[in-house]
Structure formats: structure tokens, C-alpha cells
Amino acid sequence: MAAGLLALGVYVPDKVLSNKDLESFLDTSDEWITTRTGIRERRISAPSEYVSDLALKAANNLKERYGEEALADVDQVIVATNTPDAFFPNTAALVADQLGLKGAAGYDLLAGCPGWLYALSQAAGQVEAGIARKVLVIGSEVLTKIVDWRDRSTAVLFGDGAGAAVVGPVAEGHGFRSFVLGSDGSGGKTLHMAALASSLPDGTRMGPAIYMHGREVFKFAVRVMDTATVEAIEKAGLHPDQISLFVPHQANERIINAARERLNLDWDRVVMNLDRYGNTSTASIPIALAEALDAGKVHEGDNLLFVSFGAGLTWAATVLTWGGA
């Protein structure tokens, strides 16, 4: 049995914070941010809005797009996030309850920005193995609640949002064709935030907000965006020329461009919306994919390439042949 994406929904908060707005309280400028990242604005969750709220709204948007029946037979919910409402109860269980998915298994997945792709791999494997009929996979983040708004190196990068997808059986020849997952804990010191411990095993001190060593993360990202995408394409038995659309993690325009050039893809085969949303971590790929669908850029039989990198350090890539539901 093959597994693929059956439905997709998204949600982003209404409040927009532009680079010009940041100039009023940070030692930065619109030109500095745009030149180095490609980001022009980002969405900010309301003070009372948390990951479960965004996740639920993305799932409800999915139902609006595909109908109530889209969630029929969903017996598992996975929420990939780095900003859960609580350690426990898990966010997925809260969302499942609000959606009326009584008895559905639910758990959160914490794997940095590639978390949504990690969750897709688990969902696909469980559908293909017959463990689950359908799995609701959500990437949801309220990263603006954990940034240090005095730190221009990180405050300018992140935004809030959520994307929800149903993974279920599809016709042979469609669905997920390959997954590449990896991690390197020795790089944890370059991107971190404390939870219970005050330091990492190597002694690196952590604080209550996101810390990132930008230059080191940039070098890591360029490298793994290259190696992971090439490996995923090869595992799928394809050539880069056969990739219809490249949907990368929306973190930095220069990183995306480096991967695009390595794959020899024209810009019209690349989805990029980070200028309007910033880095929404686990939500960035589903939000970008939904916009590509809405714009008519995705068609039956298209080979889509997803790739992401993030804290851990972690990375993931997958190739999906669209359709076949």
C-alpha cells in the first residue's frame, strides 16, 4: 500500500510585523534584513494564541477546503512543534479532542524545523504497514513567543503559523517515494533553547530564548540542503530534471538559492514565500505547499521535493508524487 497526502490546510495569524516595524526598537534596517535573509515581514500570534490554537485552525481550514469527510477514519494525530502548549498533556491529544477524533492516538514530535517531514515519514510508514488508516500531521509554531526581541540576529527571522495534512492510502505510482532523515547532536551548541536543563551535555549554557550561531548554522544548512536533496532524489529513482516543484524550508533566501543552483532548477520550479512569513519552522513547508496548490502550480503526477534543516542539528528530505487519492 502506498501512502501520500490527501488533504492540506493552513493558518497564519492576522498580525503582520514588518522589517520597518522592527526598525523602531532594534538596531537593524529593512535593507539589512532583506539582503541577508530575504524576509520582509512575518506573522505574530496573539498573546492568548498558542500552538494548539493555530493547529486547530489549520485543521479546520483543511475541512473547509476538502469537507468534513477529509478527517473521516483519521485514527492518529501527530503535531510537530518546537513550542508546545505544555510538556503534557501533548498538543496532539488536545487538538484531536477539539476535532472530535475520539480515541485517536496523539503525540507531539520534537525534531527542530524538519519535524513536519519527520512526522510525515512516521505517518506514511504506519499507513503503509496497516497500523493506521489515516494520520493527521500538523506543523504548528508560535516562535515569536520564545525569541529575544533585543537580539537582532534572531528576532528578525521567525514567524508564527500552522499547516495540517492528512496522510492516507493512494494509488500505486503516487505518494511518498523516499525519505532521508538525519541528525548531528554535536552541532546542538549552535542552535538551542533551555527547557529543564541549563546546559547541554558538552557544557554549553542555554537560556530561556532562542540562541543561534548564524554563520555555523548557515554553513550546515547549505551543506545538508545539498546532500539531503540529492540523496532523496536518488532514493526515489529520479533525476533532478524530473522534479516538478521544489518546496524547501523557508529559512533564508541565500540557502534556498544555493540548493536551487545545485539541482539546476529554474526559479519557477521553486516555491518561496519567506518574504511574507519568515521562518515558521515546522509549518513552513505545508504553508508554502498550500500556496503552490492554490496558485495552480501542483498537478497530478508531479514529483515534489521537500527539504528542511534545523535545531538538533537535524535534517530531512522527501520526494512525493502528487495525487492518486
pLDDT at 236 over 90: yes
- Which of 138, 169, 200 corresponds to the end of one domain? 169
**Do 147 and 26 share a structural domain?**
yes
**Do 197 and 103 share a structural domain?**
no
**Residue 62's closest CA among 84, 95, 14?**
95
Q: So what's the pLDDT on residue 135? A: 98
98-132 per-position pLDDT tens digit = 999 999 999 999 999 999 999 999 999 999 999 99
Q: What rounded mean pLDDT belongs to the chain?
A: 98
Owning domain of residue 237: 175-321
**Do 125 and 103 share a structural domain?**
yes
Distances (CA, A) of 242 to 38, 174, 223, 259: 27, 14, 22, 16
- Which of 137, 169, 201 corresponds to the end of one domain? 169
Query: Long-range contacts: 205-213, Cβ < 8 Å, 24+?
Result: 208/146, 209/146, 209/147, 209/148, 209/151, 209/154, 210/143, 210/146, 210/147, 210/148, 210/154, 210/158, 211/154, 212/153, 212/154, 212/157, 213/189
- Which of 110, 141, 169 corresponds to the end of one domain? 169
Burial label for 230, CB within 10 Å (0-12, 13-18, 19+), is: middle
Share of residues in the chain with pLDDT > 90 (%): 99
31-58 per-position pLDDT tens digit = 999 999 999 999 999 999 999 999 999 9
CATH number of the domain that residue 119 is part of: 3.40.47.10
182-203 per-position pLDDT tens digit = 999 999 999 999 999 999 999 9
CA distance 240 to 232: 10
**Do 227 and 89 share a structural domain?**
no
Number of domains in the chain: 2
**Do 184 and 66 share a structural domain?**
no
201 phi, psi to nearest 5 deg: -55, -30
**Do 117 and 86 share a structural domain?**
yes
Residues classed as catalytic: 113, 249, 279
> What is the separation of C-alpha 116 from the centre of its chain, rounded to a whole number of angstroms?
5
239-263 per-position pLDDT tens digit = 999 999 999 999 999 999 999 999 9
**Do 179 and 158 share a structural domain?**
no
Q: What angle do CA 13, 15, 21 make, to 5 degrees?
A: 140
Q: What is the CA radius of gyration of the chain?
A: 18
Are the C-beta atoms of 320 and 176 separated by less than 8 Å? Answer: yes
Q: So what's the pLDDT on residue 325? A: 82
User: For 209-238, what is the mean pLDDT?
Assistant: 97
**Do 179 and 75 share a structural domain?**
no
**Do 34 and 161 share a structural domain?**
yes
pLDDT at 92 over 90: yes
**Do 227 and 265 share a structural domain?**
yes
155-189 per-position pLDDT tens digit = 999 999 999 999 999 999 999 999 999 999 999 99
Q: What is the pTM of this model?
A: 0.98
